[in-house]
Structure 1
Amino acid sequence: MGTTFSEIEQDFADILGDIVYATMTTVDGRGRPRSRVLIAVWEVIDGAPLGWLATFPTPVKTAHLAVNPHASFSYWSPKQNAVAVDTVATWVEGRADKQHVWDLYQAGSPRGVGYPPGRFWRSPADPAFGVLRLEPYRVQVLRGVELAAGRPSRIWAPAIAS
């Protein structure tokens, strides 16, 4: 039996709240990775994490995700606390989703992470306001104290329906 998300949720929230910025990596059509630093927001829906990224739909990011929708988010602190989130990223266009993401960023999300999106976009209807839905298929959490004690990281993956 695998780890449930509820077993790692508090450490996930604490580490992300402490670090805030993630390194997002995508891969182009020739298999070459590209990384950028940004702020994603996360919530828990039906016991599983769900992420959102307010972002400019740049030509590179858009092209990479069109070829390969997988994106990895890495969080690390000098305390050796780390979270890795492997996702499938899809662009969303729905007004309700965009408003929801705008509100999450504005409020600081459930994790205390966010920023006023009005610094970058006029409103959720701004054509430059891109939103990616981030559906994790693997979350790895490691605290530095666990690493020092020789304990392995904890990994969550969604249950596969049979």
Structure 2
Amino acid sequence: MAAVTVRSFSDIESTFTAYIQDIVYCTMVTVDRKSRPRARVLLPVWEVVAGRPVGWLAVYRTPVKTAHLAHNPHTTYAYWSPRQNAVFVDSVTRWADDPESKRYAWDLYAKGSPAGVGYNPRSFWRLGPEDPQYHVLRIDPWRVQVLRGTDLSSRIWTDTAPD
């Protein structure tokens, strides 16, 4: 079945939200200096700002993740369920180290984000948003694809890729 391109993220927002609420965890893919992919399973939280999806990812600032994002901030987040429903988010991901962003992401995780996905971040960072091990990535998607497994119908939203 051919993919359908939608004009507005709002055209796929409810499906996007339903799928990530069902699937919860996703695979984040980065690339190294030799263009080799690296995957890890994480749990971003999402919201819609000015009609665009925005993700936040609470993480430990590992040397591999830091090096990959410094070299190439383009990332993909892939959600998949055994029912074959899937979401693919192509994006630019950057560190958001300012205290306001860190507190904002912390609060989204703690309350379950607008999409209803989150956890108590204090389970990982006991000192709260000021914990020196707590870091935040901001995810700015430029392409989101939702795929329904029952008939393999696919809808894609794209926007101009951020730099």
TM range (shorter): over 0.9
Normalised TM-score (structure 1): 0.93
Instruction: After TM superposition, list the pairs within 5 Å mapping 1:110-129 onto structure 2.
Output: 110-121=114-125, 122-129=127-134
Question: Take 1:14 and 1:100, find their aligned partners in 2: how far apart are those partners?
Answer: 23
Instruction: Give unmatched runs, 5+ long, in structure 1.
Output: none
Instruction: After TM superposition, list the pairs within 5 Å mapping 1:63-74 onto structure 2.
Output: 63-74=67-78
Question: Take 2:96 and 2:10, find their aligned partners in 1: how far apart are those partners?
Answer: 27
Q: Structure 1 residue 62 and structure 2 residue 66: aligned?
A: yes
RMSD: 1.3
Instruction: Give unmatched runs, 5+ long, in structure 2.
Output: none
Question: CA offsets per residue over residues 28-73 of structure 1, 9 Å max, x none?
Answer: 0011111000100000001110000000010000000000001110
Counting aligned pairs with the same residue, the percent is 56
Question: Contact between 2:6 and 2:155, CA under 8 Å: does it hold in 1?
Answer: no
Question: Take 2:84 and 2:42, find their aligned partners in 1: how far apart are those partners?
Answer: 20
Q: Structure 1 residue 141 and structure 2 residue 142: aligned?
A: no
Question: Take 2:130 and 2:111, find their aligned partners in 1: how far apart are those partners?
Answer: 18
More strand by share: 2
Change in 2 beyond 3 A, CA 1:70/1:159? closer
Normalised TM-score (structure 2): 0.92
By how many angstroms is 1:127 displaced?
Answer: 1.5
Question: Take 2:102 and 2:151, find their aligned partners in 1: how far apart are those partners?
Answer: 38
Residue of 132, 135, 143 corresponding to 1:130: 135
Residue of 55, 72, 90 corresponding to 2:94: 90
By how many angstroms is 1:93 displaced?
Answer: 1.2
Report the counterpart of residue 101 of structure 1 in structure 2. 105
Report the counterpart of residue 46 of structure 1 in structure 2. 50
Structure 2 counterpart SS, 1:137: strand
Instruction: After TM superposition, list the pairs within 5 Å mapping 1:5-84 onto structure 2.
Output: 5-84=9-88
Report the counterpart of residue 155 of structure 1 in structure 2. 156
